[in-house]
Amino acid sequence: MKKHPIRVIPLGGLGEVGRNMMVYQYGGEYLVVDTGLMFPENDMLGVDYIIPDFQFLLSKRQQIRGIIITHGHEDHIGAIHHVLQELNAPIYTTPLTRGLIEVKLARNGMLQKAQLNTVQAGEVIKLGPFQVEFFHVCHSIPDSVGLGIQTPAGLIVHSGDYKFDHTPVDNWPTDYAKLAEFSRRGVLALLADSTNATRPGWTPSERLVDEALDKVFSQAQGRIIIASFASLISRMQQVANAARRYGRKMAFVGTSMVDNAKMARKLGYLDVPDDTLIQVDQARNLPDSDVVLMCTGSQGEPTSILGRLSMGTYRLFDIKSGDTVVLSSHPIPGNEEAVFRTINRLFQRGAEVIYEEIAPVHVSGHASQEEIKLLLNLVRPKFVIPIHGELRHLKQHAALAMEVGVPKENITVLENGQVVELHQDHMRLAERVPASTVFVDGSGVGDVSPSIMREREALAQDGVVLVHLEVDQATGALRCPPDITSKGFIMNSEADDILSEARKRITTVAVGANGSLQKDVEQELRKYLYSEVRRSPTIFVNVSRA
Amino acid sequence: MKKHPIRVIPLGGLGEVGRNMMVYQYGGEYLVVDTGLMFPENDMLGVDYIIPDFQFLLSKRQQIRGIIITHGHEDHIGAIHHVLQELNAPIYTTPLTRGLIEVKLARNGMLQKAQLNTVQAGEVIKLGPFQVEFFHVCHSIPDSVGLGIQTPAGLIVHSGDYKFDHTPVDNWPTDYAKLAEFSRRGVLALLADSTNATRPGWTPSERLVDEALDKVFSQAQGRIIIASFASLISRMQQVANAARRYGRKMAFVGTSMVDNAKMARKLGYLDVPDDTLIQVDQARNLPDSDVVLMCTGSQGEPTSILGRLSMGTYRLFDIKSGDTVVLSSHPIPGNEEAVFRTINRLFQRGAEVIYEEIAPVHVSGHASQEEIKLLLNLVRPKFVIPIHGELRHLKQHAALAMEVGVPKENITVLENGQVVELHQDHMRLAERVPASTVFVDGSGVGDVSPSIMREREALAQDGVVLVHLEVDQATGALRCPPDITSKGFIMNSEADDILSEARKRITTVAVGANGSLQKDVEQELRKYLYSEVRRSPTIFVNVSRA
């Protein structure tokens, strides 16, 4: 049998390489790892979220042996319903991740269609030429796995998101033994998480959060409101444990929190006794000192529950003096401004606010530099391909690999869509496949292009001005003064003088114009408005002839 | 003579209290401290910068005894030309700050009008009832001062931006002796910088940056390009020193960098020997290993020199493999995304990129928690009013003051515009004065209102759709099919089906409509587009009757 090289194809979003989707290819067969989404950057106007462009897989539908999801965070499962619409391959994943996927698919009416298979960490499955071994890793959500992918051409280790936490909340450390065993078998390539590659030292244990929560619970007089991600099941567990220790009742607030908590309890990943768990309605009838609420909004999202609480627009209750609000999260880059604004607003409403900067109420779920070096030394791969990070993280991960002795030529920093071929004794950059991103806006997938966003940006910068002209077809003269309307351009109080002068100038131009009336008016108006207020609104000129 | 209370009035911008402008009042007389600008947040669409609303001072023009500028950073001097247009009071400031103000006023054609007075740290000036003593403080720009403001009602200490650096670049530490002397005289109130109040420990010395630069200079093979703020004169000095140590020639790139460096050299605040300083044109004729360039753009601004270099659109030169780029700065909250994008792009062009996260090439210019406590203990004020920070920083500063023993009732956290009266034995919240912010967009000052920004946001979210209808005045029928144009709404490839269906529906509505044609069409179109693509563009309907 002819041996093929293993081909590695990172897809996904926004400069983070292979975070949302990775593809492994052996011969003509494919294995997909993760199907996540990204949140838009601040200048991606009107975009709800972003998914990987996986069009190059469409012609390979029949050759995809499976889709493996490493863990249940949005940046790894969030595009699953979009992917399943096009590629209905069987999905393999651990029980909690499966539960989170089911919640999401049910919401999109696609649960029936999906072929879901449960795998436990430690199990091995065979998918075509890929023999995939699931091994447990610690991360900020339980039931996360990394993958040992054995192919005829060698063994690949794919870390997924991981950290080496010695005292994780679920007491299940990363599987060191399995990593060492891979190393004995000989690892052709390691593809590993680079998120914290610029962070020196060792990421603190989740246990640190317990101590911080203890301090909060022992000092708070009134209600405690804790905001986090809806998928951060281990944080839910820590809050539930603190609630029990301090005799408070706990309620989850918001659909996604409630759904995920319910599912995780059912599957045994979240242990909250019945007499600790209450509904948010019941919480309102208890003394404040007996209550802890857990909700979403730790990223400062204005439509989240915490966002609405900070603005006083949440339907069920208001923030009041005596409340202690905990943001148990780290701002995703780009969200800092929104997060800090939310914190300031909560202070303004009288709450005490505890956040990462002033107390360790959150720790990262990703390996720092010493852990990255430990993984490299445990696995001792021939080739290293940093993934899960921006270019600056991948570069730093590459530098760490060189520090532990991996030769420079055995390390490759890729961009999304760049295919790399792994041979026994060398690796080689192959072709590029299309691997940009697809913007999802409203119900439309992929119908917002960069050019649409440039138009939106222009509209956002300086607004829009509309001119309507009624021209007498016979004489070419204006039948009435030009009609000018604007939005987002200038305030009414300022507009009168400017617009009346604009009307005069347009009239003058219109008299002299012939065929190019529309263009001439637009040009004149653009010139005049820029000279007057140094702005360039989007201008529409409409000419009606009768 | 009747004793008045001292009235403290913080003005300024964007939730940072008193950062950009502070007003002190005694009797009917006023003293203004600083006149800075703020940069807009990410959702302030199309705004160039923001200045304090100082309208309440307009009726008090004759009672303003002086404007004092504590140091030359934009957030303290950037609104000076706007303020001078309305309030032409004499300005008092140290030589370097004056130099920076002159550069700015010259650019705005206002240098002749300004009454500029030079004061040295250590001097005392009398401005009406205010006897102002300037004392030296360390900050990330030389010649920074704090103020001891003696009034008949007591002594106020206003820290300005400061840190306690024992080894500053200019070897001029903060004036501990003066602070201790104030304490002996008895300080009624301390108003001090809260920027780093959430940061534990002691801010590292600027000297740390020298070591980091040493490492960069000793390892770089090719050109070194260092980005920072144009006003960071002490960083310029550090780079110039490193250039001399390593035998490189140094060029400043960009107008503001060049202007400020020239002025600072002339005034003796920047020591670069003639044989070290070159023009950027000369740099192009030297070997790469002999060159260091200093430019702006450390905040990821797309129009800055570094921003353009990262995109390959800078006119004078390109980034190439072998270049080492240093971002000597900390991202201002909200700029993280732009900064990291710039870093990734520079890596992509082949440069090595060194930034704060991976090497100490920048240190903060503001006091951390231990320094804030030191200032409190040195000054031992009766009352404490945290300023220069968001609410979350002020709250934390208040907590630190309580830690060192200031009674809770002697600490006040203010909002901008909230007047506080300081009496001998108590303080009291008085009235509020208008103290919002004024948006500057293009040449227009204050003509961008929140409602304009809401319109821009709507335009940015979903774009704009324009409908033009030609109606036969006699019959009420459409004389031709509706004309529909859009910008920023939907891609052309997707638009055809949707817009042709929209045209049909509009025609149907138009037939049945009478007086309310415009409104009916708009409503129908809004309903249809939302049901089809879940977006709500701004819709304009124009009806022409003939």
- Local confidence pLDDT in tens for the 546 residues of chain B: 568 999 999 997 677 898 899 999 999 999 999 999 988 776 677 777 888 989 899 999 999 999 999 999 999 999 999 999 999 899 999 999 999 999 999 988 899 989 999 999 999 999 999 999 999 999 989 999 999 999 999 999 999 999 999 999 888 999 999 999 999 999 999 999 999 999 999 999 999 999 999 999 999 999 999 999 888 899 999 999 999 999 999 999 998 899 999 999 999 999 999 999 999 999 999 999 999 999 999 888 888 999 999 999 998 999 999 999 999 998 887 888 889 999 999 999 999 999 999 999 999 999 999 999 999 999 999 999 999 999 999 999 999 999 999 999 999 999 999 999 999 999 999 999 988 778 777 666 666 677 777 788 878 788 888 888 888 888 878 888 888 888 888 766 667 788 888 888 888 888 776 678 888 888 888 888 888 877 888 888 888 887
Quote the minimal CA–CA distance from B239 to chain A in Å: 24
Distance CA A182, CA A194 (A): 20
Distance CA A247, CA A237 (A): 15
Average pLDDT over residues A156-166: 96
* Among B414, B459, B472, the residue to mutate for chain A (most A Cβ within 10 A): B459
Facing A353 at nearest CB: one of B344, B392, B483: B392
Quote the minimal CA–CA distance from B121 to chain A in Å: 35
> Hey, is the C-beta of A377 within 8 angstroms of any chain B C-beta?
no
> Hey, is the C-beta of B313 within 8 angstroms of any chain A C-beta?
no
List of chain B residues whose C-beta atoms are within 8 Å of the C-beta of residue A342: none
> Hey, is the C-beta of A358 within 8 angstroms of any chain B C-beta?
yes
Quote the radius of gyration of chain A (alpha carbons, Å). 28
Token pair 């036969």 is found at B472
pLDDT of residue A514: 66
Residues A208-226: pLDDT tens digits?
999 999 999 999 999 999 9
Q: Which residue has the higher pLDDT, B436 or A247?
A: A247
CATH top-level class of B6-201+364-445: alpha beta
List of chain A residues whose C-beta atoms are within 8 Å of the C-beta of residue B460: 45-46, 456-457, 459-460
Longest dimension (CA), chain B: 91
List of chain B residues whose C-beta atoms are within 8 Å of the C-beta of residue A489: 452
List of chain A residues whose C-beta atoms are within 8 Å of the C-beta of residue B488: 45-46, 452-453, 455-456, 458-459
pLDDT of residue B451: 74
pLDDT of residue B463: 85
Whether the per-residue pLDDT at A1 is higher than 70: the answer is no
Taking CB atoms within 8 Å and a gap of at least 24, the contacts of B337-340 are B337/A41, B337/A42, B337/A333, B337/A334, B337/B300, B338/B299, B338/B300, B338/B301, B338/B302, B339/B298, B339/B299, B339/B300, B340/A333, B340/A390, B340/A392, B340/B300
Q: Give me A239's structure tokens.
A: 């809050």
DSSP character for A39? P
Rounded to the nearest integer, the mean pLDDT of chain A is 91
* Among A198, A215, A459, A539, the residue to mutate for chain B (most B Cβ within 10 A): A459
List of chain A residues whose C-beta atoms are within 8 Å of the C-beta of residue B396: 358
pLDDT of residue A538: 87
Residues pairing with A151 in the sheet: A154
Distance CA B159, CA B135 (A): 9
Whether the per-residue pLDDT at A446 is higher than 70: the answer is no
CATH top-level class of B207-354: alpha beta
Question: Is A494 close to B459, i.e. CB distance below 8 A?
Answer: no
pLDDT of residue B220: 97
The hierarchical CATH code for the domain A463-545 is 3.10.20.580
Q: Among A380-394, A443-457, A459-473, B347-361, whose mean pLDDT is lowest?
A: A443-457
Given the cut 0.90, state whether the ipTM is greater than it: no
Quote the minimal CA–CA distance from B188 to chain A in Å: 27
Distance CA A312, CA B149 (A): 40
Distance CA A508, CA B139 (A): 57
Q: Which residue has the higher pLDDT, A402 or B457?
A: A402
Beta strands in B27-90 (DSSP E): 29-33, 49-52, 64-68
pLDDT of residue B514: 66
User: Which amino acid does the sequence have at A166?
Assistant: H
Residues A165-190: pLDDT tens digits?
999 988 899 999 999 999 999 999 99
pLDDT band at A79 (very low <50, low <70, confident <90, very high): very high
Token pair 């008092």 is found at B92
A193 part of the active site: yes
Question: Is B357 close to A198, i.e. CB distance below 8 A?
Answer: yes
Taking CA–CA distances from A454, the nearest residue in chain B reads: B488
Spot the catalytic one: A82, A362, A366, A388: A366
User: Which amino acid does the sequence have at A512?
Assistant: G
pLDDT of residue A492: 67
List of chain B residues whose C-beta atoms are within 8 Å of the C-beta of residue A348: 391
Distance CA B364, CA B125 (A): 31
Instruction: Report the phi/psi class of residue B505: left, alpha or beta, with left for phi > 0 and alpha for psi in -120 to 50.
Output: alpha
Where along chain B do its domains lie?
6-201+364-445, 207-354, 463-545
Counted across chains A and B, CB pairs separated by less than 8 A come out at 195
> Hey, is the C-beta of B508 within 8 angstroms of any chain A C-beta?
no
Give the count of beta carbons closer than 10 Å to the beta carbon of residue B193.
29
> Hey, is the C-beta of B447 within 8 angstroms of any chain A C-beta?
yes
> Hey, is the C-beta of A219 within 8 angstroms of any chain B C-beta?
no
CB B191, CB B17: distance < 8 Å? no
In sequence order, which ranges of B380-488 are alpha helices (DSSP H)?
Answer: 391-403, 450-462
Average pLDDT over residues A379-405: 97
Q: Give me B533's structure tokens.
A: 């693509």
